[in-house]
Amino acid sequence: MHESISLWIPNVRGFCTILLMENDDKQAEEQRQSETRAERKALEAADSPRTSRLPAVLATVALLAVMVAGGIASAKSEMFLDQSVEGDATKDVRVIEATASVPATTPAVVATVAPEPTIIEIGWVGDLTPGSRYGLPPDDGRALFASTAEYTQQPDLMMANLEGTFGNGGASKCDGKDSSDCYAFQAPPTNAAALSWAGIDVVNLANNHSNDYFGAGQTTTKEALDGQGIVYTGLGNDYPVLDVDGVQVAVLGFSPYSWSPSLADIGAAQAMVREADADADIVVVLMHAGAEGADKTTTPEGAEYAYGEFRGDSRAFSHAVIDAGADLVMGSGPHVVRGMEEYEGRLIAYSLGNFAGWKNFSRAGNLALSGLLTVEIDDEGEVLGGRWLSLRIVDPGVPQVDSSYESAALVRQLGEADFATPVLPDAEGYFILSTTE
């Protein structure tokens, strides 16, 4: 007759089954002492506080090997389950199939499963003027975004560089100056609703036009944005931290102008980024930097100037803020697109060019090329991929999707020419970083 013995071995997944064959009393007697010694070792190892559970398992397996080899018909270990013993009678052994195929000598591995990262999509466009004395877009400004709203409404967090102000007149920087040389942009406060309608969540005010109507213009601009629930950054030393699907995102704006955090003071910029990095999961830096013009597509090394003004050292600044903890750096200012760079596993988009402006932006040559950058990023700041959606600005200053993908091709060409570690969009604008798994 046969009897099955099912047992649970600590740290081993599943039940193991031992098949015992009947043997005569003589054989059992000869092996009893061997069994007892092996069993005692197993039990001592399991009970000892200084011994790991793995040796106990191994000792138990050794005991089972002795029992199988000797054909012992009885077992005394307290670890056996479902065992029936009837005096000295031979045993009925039931064979129970193992519920797991893990070898008995393999310790269980208790894995701590890390939570899945939260991934969000962040979008960025360049210079946006929602109206000015040069022209006001119809439908309270919505006409400016009619062709691209379906794309700007998609990202979890959509940002733009607000190149102008909201207000109803007042003193401007161009008062008493030649209007052909000075540009002051102001849109009616009601046009702020068009930005919200287009899906824009955050605007950067760290630029040369946010002070076109001085402090009063900044106040009316902030009031108009507040009225539409649009967040702004780049004035003073404050910065917002937004909750985006449970991910905390800090957005910091920098420019070379006195009313915003300065590109020139890299040490102060790094300190600000470190503070934001302690407050948030993701730190985004928006910079308004670089010389202006159709021929300024190259990102040079060193400082840049335009109209006698210092316009920052884009490369040095971007690298420094990433060293301090920034996860994304996105640029505006040159009015043309520039290449993208990967630095320390982070993304730098040096310029998206102009985005939209009713009759106030030139559309000659490269000045007509634009883009909508979308980036998938997780709550650790790792960029998983993205897209440069090619846009073209058409009369009277409205962006449209460009099916020829001309600006993405130019960004690829500029990246290859300018950087040792470029980020290169494919033919349709999609890209990943070298660190993306």
CATH classification of the domain holding 215: 3.60.21.10
pLDDT at 115: 86
> How many domains are contained in the chain?
2
pLDDT-derived band at 87, boundaries 50, 70, 90: very low
Looking at the structure, do residues 326 and 276 belong to the same domain, yes or no? Answer: yes
pLDDT at 178: 83
When pLDDT is averaged across residues 23-46 and rounded to a whole number, the result is 48
The answer on 104 and 34 residing in a single domain is yes
Residues 175 and 251 in one domain: yes
Task: List pLDDT tens digits, range 419-429.
Answer: 999 999 999 99
- Is the bond preceding 334 in cis, omega lying within 30 degrees of 0? no
Residue 118: pLDDT above 70?
Answer: yes
Q: What band does 74 get if pLDDT is binned at 50, 70 and 90?
A: very low
- Look at residues 411, 372, 415, 368 and name the one whose alpha carbon lies nearest to residue 393: 368
Residue 173: per-residue pLDDT: 96
Average pLDDT over residues 340-350: 98
Assigned token pair, 290:
């670089």
- What mean pLDDT is reported for the chain? 83
**Same structural domain, 102 and 180:** no
Q: Can you tell me the distance from the alpha carbon of 385 to that of 264, in angstroms, rounded to the nearest whole number? A: 31
Mean pLDDT of 321-326: 98
Query: What's the pLDDT at 66?
Result: 37
pLDDT at 109: 61
The domain boundary, picked from 113, 133, 158, lies at: 113
Instruction: Give me the pLDDT at residue 427, please.
Output: 96
pLDDT in tens, 88-105: 433 333 333 333 344 445
Of 113, 144, 164, the last residue of a domain is 113
What type of residue sits at position 201? D
Q: Check if the beta carbon of residue 165 is closer than 8 Å to that of residue 218.
A: yes
Residue 380 vs residues 365, 385, 423: alpha-carbon distances, Å: 39, 14, 20
Does residue 108 sit in the same domain as residue 178? no
Alpha-carbon distance 345 to 233, whole Å? 25
* Domain around 109: 1-113
Please check whether residues 306 and 171 belong to one and the same domain. Answer: yes
Mean pLDDT for 144-159 is: 98
- 437 domain residue, yes or no: no
Lowest mean per-residue pLDDT among 32-41, 206-215, 288-297, 390-399: 32-41
Q: What is the pLDDT of residue 107?
A: 57
Question: Are residues 190 and 57 both part of a single domain?
Answer: no
Domain boundary among 92, 113, 134: 113
Looking at residue 437, its pLDDT comes to 63
Residue 367, token pair as written in the block: 């000045």
Radius of gyration of the chain (CA): 35
The answer to whether residues 123 and 109 belong to one domain is no
Contact 168, 219 (CB under 8 A): no
Which range has the worst mean pLDDT, 24-33, 56-65, 160-169, 227-236? 56-65
Beta bridge partners, 328, equal: 284, 347
- With bands split at pLDDT 50, 70 and 90, how would you rate the model's confidence at 162? very high
Least Cα distance to 371 among 319, 342, 336 occurs for 336
Query: What residues have CB less than 8 Å from 284, skipping those under 6 apart?
Result: 122, 159, 249, 250, 251, 252, 326, 327, 328, 329, 330
Query: In this predicted structure, what is the pLDDT of residue 32?
Result: 54
Tokens of 258: 């006195």
- Reported as a pLDDT band with limits 50, 70 and 90, residue 113 is confident
Are 322 and 212 found together in one domain?
Answer: yes
- 139 and 84 in a common domain: no
Q: Is residue 339 within 8 Å of 419, Cβ to Cβ?
A: yes
Q: Are residues 148 and 297 in the same domain?
A: yes
Percent of the chain with pLDDT over 70: 74
pLDDT interval class at 179 (50, 70, 90): confident
279 lies in some domain = yes
